[in-house]
A and B are shown apart, each in its own frame.
Chain A
Amino acid sequence: MIWKAIGQTITGTSHLQSERGCEDALSFKTQALPNGDEALICCVSDGAGSAVHAAQASSYTVQTTVQTITELLHATGAIEENNIIEILEQLYEDLQQMASEKEEHINEYSCTLLGAVITEFYALFFQVGDGAIIRDTNPDQYAPVWWPHNGEYSNTTAFLVDDPNMGHLRIIRLQETIKEIAIFTDGLQLLTLNNESLSVHQPFFQDLFKWLRMATQEEHLQVLDRKLGEYLNSEPINNRTDDDKTLFLATRF
């Protein structure tokens, strides 16, 4: 075990009230690499509240993306920006196909996408829409890879299906060793990012990573993962956000 990772997706209280169900989705895996390292692959997606098939779109998007990246790493041992672009273009076609089969507009499959592939020597990040990927810059110090993409209104953003040419895609490959990473959807954005200073609210992540670093066994991770779910559904959080919320955390041994 090189990566210690936990992640939970929790239905927002407004979604519970309107019986909409959870439209966030999360998928992550580790894949052994030929050099003995282990790649961490994670994708998070937030389906648009007013899109009919938001939940299906977000869950298909994260599962397909993680699966395809895993297979690629298994086959070739490496991944580049253009691989990601190809995967997302194919995803667009899949979602278009699903929409066509149901004679619906592709907008009904609107969802965001946040993704990371991290190996010992490089990291690939990609993002369409809001939410954020946070990485360590120094021990116990975190910075967003990108600031969340919102439109004029707080609830408007870009979606994967907005553009077949992926005009909204942000993608970067860093030749760095990243030891800690968090990914979250916009349901947690107001709690974890300081809008005025455009910075990460450090104590939030310091409090969580502190415990994850101490875990040494699989069963520790199971306990922390369960507690993460309880925490995301706790009153202090629900008083501040009624949206679906996903939080993924990973630290390198």
Chain B
Amino acid sequence: MDEYISFEQIPFGSESFADNPEPRCPCVLLLDTSGSMSGKPIAQLNEGIQTLKKELLADPLASKRVEIAIVTFGPVTVESDFTTVGNFFPRPLHAENDTPMGAAINLGIDMVTRRKNEYKAHGIGYYKPWIILITDGAPTDSHSKAAMLVREGEAMSSFAFFAIGVEDANFDILREISVRQPLKLKGLMFREFFIWLSGSLKSVSSKNPGNKVNLLPPTGWAEV
């Protein structure tokens, strides 16, 4: 019978796949919108966020997996709650007021914890959340609770926390808060930073021993 089957001609394969939701990678941006960011810094930051959206949208898997949320300070505001980039329409940020960085970090950690619980409740797999702090100053509120929560969260592998300092940011305080070495943005290279961030987020699905987070080398935007 087999002589009637031409194996070269058969449509080998299956078009039927399991209908599982994509695992998500939650990423919170904690953005300093205090008065000192006004002018060129905030304009470059706004442009950088658009670049992030564009870069992630161009990747078929990252656009389904990465969920962005934005918290600005001050005052501490949830500018945008977790959403995949297709539904992410960031409004231009304005710089004003003081720098309640501690409260913003606490909120970011709460949001990540809540989001994980939502994934669990809906049977959605997820990757380690990322919390990214970008500031050009120093907190005007207390940062001791935030620093403790970051340390705890990193120790328990609940999230990865990154601090990026712009221009005159107080790096002594950033080092008190972040377990990972804070990085200094070269000039106002927000665009390059967000291209790097989207590139790193695209590789989150890669398997890691010891819960490491895979990052691209921060070349181009970070001062050494």
Contacts and interface: CB of A to CB of B under 8 A. Distances in A.
Interface of A: 14, 18, 46, 48-51, 107, 110, 150-157, 159, 161-162, 186, 190-196, 201, 203-208, 211, 214-217, 219-220, 223-224, 227-228, 231, 234, 236, 239-243
A100 to B, nearest CB: 17
A155 B2 contact: no
- How large, as a class, is the contact surface on chain B? 35 or more
Interface of B: 2, 5, 7-8, 10, 12-20, 22-23, 60-61, 123, 125-128, 157, 202-212, 214
A243 B206 contact: yes
B212 A50 contact: yes
Nearest to A191: B17
Contacts of A216: 2
A104 to B, nearest CB: 12
B138 to A, nearest CB: 33
A110 B73 CA distance: 41
Contact of A49 (B18, B202, B207, B210): B207
6 contacts: A48-B208, A50-B209, A50-B212, A50-B214, A162-B209, A239-B60
Contacts of A162: 209
A106 B207 CA distance: 16
Q: Which one of B22, B60, B127, B206 has the highest number of Cβ atoms from chain A below 10 Å of its Cβ?
A: B206
B2 A154 contact: no
B18 A227 contact: no
A153 to B, nearest CB: 5
Contacts of B5: 214
B61 A107 contact: no
B59 to A, nearest CB: 9
B127 to A, nearest CB: 5
A211 B12 CA distance: 7
